[in-house]
Amino acid sequence: MKFPTPVFDANASGGKNLGDLPEWDLTDLYPSPDSDELKRDMVWLEKECASFAADYEGKLADLDAEGLLNAVQRYEEIDIIAGRIMSYAGLRYYQITTDSDRAKFMADCQDKITDFTTPLVFYGLEFNRLEDDHLAGLLDANADLARYKPVFDRMRAMKPHQLSDELEKFLHDQSAVGAAAWNRLFDETMAALEFEVNGETLSLEATLNLLTEQDRAKREAANHALAKVFKENIKLFSRVHNTLAKEKAIEDRWRNMPTPQTGRHLSNHVEAEVVEALRNAVVAAYPRLSHRYYALKAKWLALDKMQVWDRNAPLPMESDRIVDWEEATNTVMDAYAGFDPKMAEIAKPFFTDGWIDAPVKPGKAPGAFAHPTVTSVHPYVMLNYLGKPRDVMTLAHELGHGVHQVLAAEQGELLSSTPLTLAETASVFGEMLTFRKMLEGAKSQEERKVLLANKVEDMINTVVRQIAFYDFECKLHAARAEGELTPDDINALWMSVQAESLGPVFEFAEGYETFWSYIPHFVHSPFYVYAYAFGDGLVNALYAVYEEGDPDFRKKYFDMLRAGGSKHHKELLAPFGLDASDPAFWDKGLSMIEGFIDELEAMEG
């Protein structure tokens, strides 16, 4: 039993006078934490889990096709109710992570649901013991059951890594005090951190935002404030990473996972060779992408050497104007409608019905995400909107996730969930549509240059930076297998990938070695990060097909989003004439970034 949880996207950034920012209305999930509806669902869930186990444990192999379909649909309904409760508890918590009542409510819900669903552990284990021929016969006999084949295929991919029923139940029971507890410690610690910058006390989000300020002294001051606080807490962050990596290694060993990355590849329904081809293509392209772009940027900033606080600096000619919420909304909605009015129509309720939580508030979780909740409700988008142009792109990104999640919900709970590698498709495509719309409206060569440079930086952050993150994680887990890692050990691993990916124009001031500590993906979802690069490369290739004028592109695109998790990436990309297992596929995506850098270099004359 898995509950829907958000994965945080890149950090948002900042400003003031933003207009009327929307906040979540969570009543579509439950009216309140003590509502009769929530109590009713808790009672139903406990009873139905026990009833499901009584009806089916030890009996799955004896079911005919109709009986197995009934079991699957009952399991799906349990998944919906458990997911609804945890979505509500989790979203309330992320609104104010420092509120101990909200934290307790979420923890209590998690504990109860873990207890209720423990009797269900048999289901996946017993299902995987069904003979292949027997299952194939059942699928042939019932078309409604055959619809769930992609779910069954993913379940059975774990067959070689399955433990005994007793051990699986133990792991399920102790999960709330394992990785989930360390995740919560990390989240609460991060939300409570305070940074002193020029006499002002700021949150992590607001301090990171200063790294995109025009004033170089402000950026440097923010960098030093971050480094100081990270260093003060580095032992705790090292303990979190050491423990999670060790816990993962123990479970991987018991499950006979050949590498620390295998579990992620299995859950993403992607082959290790495809990820390796992506990783190698990006690393080989570092000199043509990040090294070349940052050399250009150093020239624009009139610097011989760049410091890390210059990486996301605006260009000298860039306006520091604030984009209010109304303008951001119109920009993104116009771009979506320009692609297809249907896309804007799907996006509209996010703005009108309390599906977006935009303002920065004390204790609110940093970053941004789109949470699918459950297919019987709708997604919710969280932002920390502070009015920078990059925040408009973050809105376009998260709204893309939301549109994807709405369309995929048509598949039903078990088939709607998209593997992480494909989950970034609609979000990155939404960003590309918004960028192209803004580029079309550029009123001068200078404005075009700023837009292009910002897009290249976003793509470098999405592709180069995330593959560097992936390499860091690979090194971290490999090193942890040899023994406990000191903070200095982890710092050294971090720096080994930073210099390689950013290039020779950078110097790394003291303190930057600790900046691995605030990246939530390493804690929440090990090896998640390559999904960003996968998504960006995939969308660049998709967008090239769109620009070539395929008359059926829109229909194929919506079909792809509607498919959710019901098809493998090969099936989804085939209608577009694309194949991610072809190493040349990734070079095609990377060449789009190169093309933008070519144009920027040409502007230099």
pLDDT one-digit tens code per residue, 209-263: 899 898 999 999 999 999 999 999 999 999 999 999 999 999 999 999 999 999 9
What domains are defined for the chain?
A: 26-177 (1.20.140.70)
Residue range 407-435: average pLDDT?
91
* Both structure tokens of 530: 């390559």
Residue 14: pLDDT over 70: no
Residue 190 vs residue 268, higher pLDDT: 190
Supply the pLDDT for residue 366: 84
Residue 532: the pLDDT is 87
The pTM of the full predicted model, rounded to 2 decimals, is 0.82
The pLDDT, as a whole number, for residue 165 is 81
CA-to-CA distance for 449 and 318, rounded, in angstroms?
Answer: 9
Angle at 117 between CA 138 and CA 178, to 5 degrees: 120
Residue 171 neighbours by CB under 8 Å, 6+ apart? 163, 251
Residue 49 near residue 73, CB atoms below 8 Å: no
pLDDT in tens, 279-324: 999 999 999 999 999 999 999 999 999 999 999 999 888 777 789 9
CA distances from 6 to 86, 236, 396, 423, 524 (A): 11, 23, 17, 12, 9
**DSSP code string of 198-247:** TTEEE-HHHHHHGGG-S-HHHHHHHHHHHHHHHHHTHHHHHHHHHHHHHH
Would you say 394 and 11 are in contact if contact means Cβ atoms under 8 Å apart? no
pLDDT for res 294: 97
Single-letter amino acid, residue 562: R
Predicted confidence at residue 5, as pLDDT, reads 45
In the chain, % of residues over pLDDT 90:
76
pLDDT level of residue 547 (50, 70, 90 thresholds): confident
pLDDT band for position 157 (cuts 50, 70, 90)? confident
In this prediction, residues 178-190 reach a mean pLDDT of 91
pLDDT computed for residue 605 by the predictor: 60
Band (pLDDT 50/70/90 cuts) for residue 584 is confident
State residue 173's pLDDT score: 80
* Residue 10: band (very low, low, confident or very high) from pLDDT cuts 50, 70, 90: very low
Confidence label for 158 from pLDDT (cuts 50, 70 and 90): confident
Using alpha carbons, select from 234, 249, 309, 232 the residue that is nearest to residue 502.
309
- 350 neighbors 373 (Cβ within 8 angstroms): no
State how far the Cα of 295 lies from the Cα of 181, in Å rounded to an integer.
43
As a whole number of angstroms, the longest Cα–Cα distance in the chain is 75
What is the arithmetic mean of pLDDT over 410-435? 90
User: Helix or strand or coil: residue 472?
Assistant: helix
Segment 473-507, tens digit of pLDDT: 999 999 999 999 999 999 999 999 999 999 999 99
Mean pLDDT, rounded, for 186-199: 93
Q: Is the pLDDT of residue 2 over 60?
A: no
First to last CA, the chain: 59
Q: What is the mean pLDDT of residues 382-411?
A: 94
Mean pLDDT confidence for 415-419: 89
Are the C-beta atoms of residues 392 and 434 closer than 8 Å to each other? yes
Q: Averaged over 122-149, what is the pLDDT?
A: 95
- How does DSSP classify residue 356? E
Tens of pLDDT along 27-37? 999 999 999 99
Can you tell me the distance from the alpha carbon of 494 to that of 195, in angstroms, rounded to the nearest whole number? 22
SS (H, E, C) 245-312: HHHHHHHHHHCCCCCCCHHHHHHHCCCHHHHHHHHHHHHHHHHHCHHHHHHHHHHHCCCCCEEHHHCC
pLDDT, residue 253, reads 94
What is the rounded distance in angstroms from the CA atom of residue 251 to the CA atom of residue 42?
30
Higher pLDDT, 588 or 199: 199
For the cut 70, the answer to whether the pLDDT of residue 9 exceeds it is: no
Q: Please provide the average confidence, as pLDDT, over all residues in the chain.
A: 92
DSSP one-letter string for 478-533: HHHTTS---HHHHHHHHHHHHHHHH-TTEE--TTGGGGGGG-HHHHHSTTTTHHHH
The CA distance from 142 to 68, in Å, is 10
pLDDT higher than 90, residue 518: yes
Q: How confident is the model at residue 91 (pLDDT cuts 50, 70, 90)?
A: very high
- The pLDDT of 172-197, averaged and rounded, is 89
Alpha helices in 148-215 (DSSP H): 149-157, 165-174, 179-192, 204-209
Structure tokens at 252: 């991987």
Which of 599, 592, 237 has its CA nearest to residue 428? 592
Instruction: Look at residue 1 in the predicted model and tell me its pLDDT.
Output: 40
Q: What is the mean pLDDT of residues 2-13?
A: 44
CA distance 204 to 63: 54
pLDDT at 3 over 80: no
